C-alpha cells in the first residue's frame, strides 16, 4: 500500500504547464527525506527523471523540474510535448514503525490533449 499520494491523472495541451503533486507524511517527506521522480513510458521500465528533490540526471530536458515543501513534493512539466505522455511516480524513504523502507507514490498518468 502506497504511503505517497498522487493524483491519478493530469492532462494538458501541447506547450502547457502541468504539475503533479506527491503528498506524504511526517515519517517520509515531512521527515526531510529526499523525493525522487520517475517516468514510465508505455510498455517500458521506469526511468529516473529527478533525484534529490530537484536535480535532473544528464539527458533529462530542463522542461522537467522538481520541488519539495513540508510533507509534499511536486513535479512540473513546462512546454508539454506529446512524448511526455506517460506514468509518473514519486519515491522517498519512510521510517514508520513497521520498519524502514523505500516508498513509491500511487502514480499519475499524464495525457497530452
Partner 1 sequence: EVQLVQSGAEVKKPGESLKISCKGSGYSFTSYWIGWVRQMPGKGLEWMGIIYPGDSDTRYSPSFQGQVTISADKSISTAYLQWSSLKASDTAMYYCARLGGMTTVTNWFDPWGQGTLVTVSS
Q: Is the dihedral of CA 50, 54, 55, 56 positive or negative?
A: positive
Closest CA to 111 of 92, 95, 88, 91: 88
Q: How far is the CB of 75 from partner 1 (least distance, A)?
A: 14
Judged by beta carbon, residue 20 or residue 33, the one nearer partner 1 is: 33
Q: Does 106 bind partner 1 (CB under 8 A)?
A: yes
Judged by CB, which is closer to partner 1: 72, or 92? Answer: 92
* Residues 22-51, mask of contacts with partner 1 (x by CB under 8 A): -----------xx-x-x------xxxx--x
Pairing of strands 9-12, 108-112: parallel
* Phi, psi (degrees; rounded to nearest 5) at 102: -90, 140
Residues 58-97 contacting partner 1, CB under 8 A = 89, 91, 93, 95
Cα of first residue to Cα of last residue in the chain, in angstroms, is 31
Positions touching partner 1 (CB under 8 A) are: 1-2, 33-34, 36, 38, 45-48, 51-52, 57, 89, 91, 93, 95, 98-107
Amino acid at each position: 500500500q502506497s504511503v505517497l499520494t498522487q493524483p491519478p491523472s493530469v492532462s494538458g495541451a501541447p506547450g502547457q504547464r502541468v504539475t503533479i503533486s506527491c503528498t506524504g507524511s511526517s515519517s517520509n517527506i515531512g521527515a526531510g527525506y529526499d523525493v525522487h521522480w520517475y517516468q514510465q513510458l508505455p510498455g517500458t521500465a521506469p526511468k529516473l527523471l529527478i533525484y534529490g528533490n530537484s536535480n535532473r540526471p544528464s539527458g533529462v530536458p530542463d522542461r522537467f523540474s522538481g520541488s519539495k515543501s513540508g510533507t509534499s513534493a511536486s513535479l512540473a512539466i513546462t512546454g508539454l510535448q506529446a512524448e511526455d505522455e506517460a506514468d509518473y511516480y514519486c519515491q522517498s524513504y519512510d521510517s514508520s514503525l513497521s520498519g524502514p523502507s523505500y516508498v513509491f507514490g500511487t502514480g499519475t498518468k499524464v495525457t497530452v490533449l
